[in-house]
Amino acid sequence: MVKKQSLMESLVNQNLFNSFFQNKTVLITGDTGFKGSWLSLWLKLLGANIVGFSLKAPISSPSHHSLLDLKITSHQGNMQNREELDKVIVKYQPEIIFNLAAQSLVRKSYANPENTYLTNINGTINILESIRSNLDNCCFINVTSDKAYENRETLKGYVETDPMGGFDPYSASKGCAEIITSSYRRSFFKNTPNVKIATARAGNVIGGGDWAKDRIIPDLIRSLEKNTQVSIRNPQSVRPWQHVLEPLSGYLLLAQKMGESGQEFNEAWNFGSEEAPVSVIDIVKNTALVFPDLKYKLDINPINAHEASLLSLNCDKSKKKLSWKAVWGMDETLTKTLEWYKSFYSNKESTLEASTQDVFEYIKKAKQLKIKWAQ
């Protein structure tokens, strides 16, 4: 394994994303979450000055964010509190903002719909209002979800112009966040050339360091750790699974394009898997090949709240206009994810090294595929 210090230095010195992020001040809301912690790591490797804004950490136990210990500038706050957001934005004047702060679980949104709507809708309004009041030069990417689409559960992948919707409170709140962001962009930022607003939608992400409840890989890992049997709900549901680094490469590339250009990238963008969707039970069976001690049972007649059984994205726009494409296939994605957890449980002090190595391997593969952002 490459030594973490030399690897971090080598990535800073590479021309990744045209060195756009080097010495830039980047605000990440939700930096303590699964995606946020990986994005913080990657941006640190790119030489950015990172400011985090999130609820009190850790949000899971263990916490990938806490284990990485990146020593970035972090602020505790709530997206529903405009004053807390204003203080951070006024003080640091970020040049790039990634909004990842959200209540991000479907089942939790059924248990607490009010908090889901307040966090995901009011939080979007608050950060857009804070940008409008306090910044005159900024690229803002609001990260939503593939679940923002009005899902008709067809094999056809959704394109960025398909209507927003949402059955459950989480999905509906993300659809609302998309509509609100689009409204602000057209109403208030159309004639502000240096303030650029976009949204990004991705599918179900997996990867090392996720311990959130009601997600398939964390549920399997917890059952292994506790030597208990895990109950698999909706085993035949399929998802376009992707490694967490896949959409993050899209977010970073989009921010670079926005920062280097006019307003032509101020739109909605899909960053999803290019492979056929894979069922939940296939994920479980492949995990059991790596961890033979895994014990599970299928919920044949589960009493569950509604969850989509089929959902996929069409990413032709991102491929054509951004030259973005996925790097790891499904087999490699699951292998990298499970290897990360094996490494963690054999040596919990290796989190930063193992995570950095994953970023390095992802970039190496992107270079081999001659993907533009990696050249």
Whether the Cβ atoms of residue 213 and residue 105 lie closer than 8 Å to each other: yes
User: With 50 as the cut, is the pLDDT of residue 2 above it?
Assistant: no
Q: Give me the chain's average pLDDT, please.
A: 90
* Average pLDDT for 184-198: 95
Confidence of residue 12 (pLDDT cuts 50, 70, 90): low
pLDDT of 111-140, one tens digit each? Answer: 888 999 999 999 999 999 999 999 999 999
* Average pLDDT for 224-243: 89
- Closest to 278 (Cα-Cα) out of 211, 352, 216: 216
Confidence of residue 16 (pLDDT cuts 50, 70, 90): very high
* Average pLDDT for 245-251: 98
- CA 177 to chain CA centroid, Å, is 16
Bridge partners (DSSP) of residue 183 are none
User: With 60 as the cut, is the pLDDT of residue 4 above it?
Assistant: no
- Lowest-confidence segment of 54-68, 103-117, 149-163, 293-307 by average pLDDT: 293-307
* pLDDT of the residue at 1: 46
pLDDT of 334-363, one tens digit each? Answer: 999 999 999 999 888 889 999 999 999 999
* Average pLDDT for 309-319: 87
* Average pLDDT for 264-276: 92
Bridge partners (DSSP) of residue 143 are 200
* pLDDT of the residue at 57: 62
- CA 267 to chain CA centroid, Å, is 18
Percent of the chain scoring above 90 in pLDDT = 74
Confidence of residue 13 (pLDDT cuts 50, 70, 90): low
CA pair distance 63, 93, nearest whole angstrom: 28
User: With 60 as the cut, is the pLDDT of residue 246 above it?
Assistant: yes
